[in-house]
Amino acid sequence: MAEALLDARGIGVRFGDFRALSEVTLAVAAGSLHTVIGPNGAGKTTLFNVLTGRLRPSEGRIVLAGHDVTQMPAHRRVHLGMARSFQVTNIFADLTVTENLRMAAQAVAGGEPWVFWRAHRPMRETVEALLEQVGLAARATRRAGDLSHGAQRALEIGMALAADPRIIFLDEPLAGMGIDDVHRTKELIHRLVPARTVVLIEHNMRVVLDISDRITVLAQGRPIAEGTPAMIRSDAAVREAYLGSGL
């Protein structure tokens, strides 16, 4: 296994007397696609919130690219190369695809997003490259709110990529998609590695088993298995807790 870009050890989260996470350890290799799975209520999004700085752990330690980020807020983790998309699509529906990507790119660069756009060649080139990367060049002038759900998720991934992250967290990017959008988004996610590291939460097990390098399985806030897709598919505890006898 390659050197871990993200290393979380003994992560625990308590809300009063309720333990949302207990003794979660996760090592994500640089340039890999690492998926976290588990039934609803297993603690997957809570873990993402801890890893990305939106929630402080009650115990444990998180190291990103050699830096202890356990108590570091989300905006500072961005400067270390971290980006995230959420379960709910987070775009500017009334702006065009290009304008959404421009806003994201300008937010990273700093300054007023509408000033000197035409004269700012590097920014234009960044946006054009993002349009190509996420497959939206032909829809660059479309209103984002008029895109299909799958295209909106691709746009959101493009906005996250505007920060040129080393590691990107994707929370259920395939939720609510039809078959064609699932295939396109799956291919987009798969193309992100090995140039970037991807940490994924996803319920579509066909996709998870197809594109993941490693998988961590949570149940009731605890890790019950971790390994390659082949290892997870054959793990009896995982099948009983989550996958079902059909896999």
- In this prediction, residue 242 has a pLDDT band, given cuts at 50, 70 and 90, of low
Of 18-22, 118-122, 124-128, where does mean pLDDT reach its minimum? 118-122
Q: What is the DSSP string of the chain?
A: -PPEEEEEEEEEEEETTEEEEEEEEEEEETT-EEEEE-STTSSHHHHHHHHTTSS--SEEEEEETTEE-TT--HHHHHTTTEEEE-SS----TTSBHHHHHHHHHHHHH-S-TTTTTTT-HHHHHHHHHHHHHTT-GGGTTSBGGGS-HHHHHHHHHHHHHTT--SEEEEESTTTT--HHHHHHHHHHHHHHTTTSEEEEE---HHHHHHH-SEEEEEETTEEEEEE-HHHHHT-HHHIIIII-TT-
Identify the pLDDT of residue 237.
84
Confidence check: pLDDT of 226 > 90: yes
pLDDT reported for residue 116:
47
d(C-alpha 216, C-alpha 199), whole Å: 10
pLDDT band for position 247 (50/70/90)? low
Burial class (CB in 10 A: 0-12, 13-18, 19+), 114: exposed
The pLDDT value given to residue 241: 74
Evaluate if residue 124 carries a pLDDT over 90.
no
Q: For residue 187, what are its two tokens?
A: 């291919």
Task: Tell me what percent of the residues of the chain surpass a pLDDT of 90.
Answer: 79
pLDDT(111) > 60: no
pLDDT digits (tens, 9 = 90+) for 79-109: 899 999 865 578 999 999 999 999 888 877 6
Domain boundaries, the chain: 1-81+165-247, 89-164
CATH number of the 1-81+165-247 domain: 3.40.50.300
pLDDT band at 245 (very low <50, low <70, confident <90, very high): very low
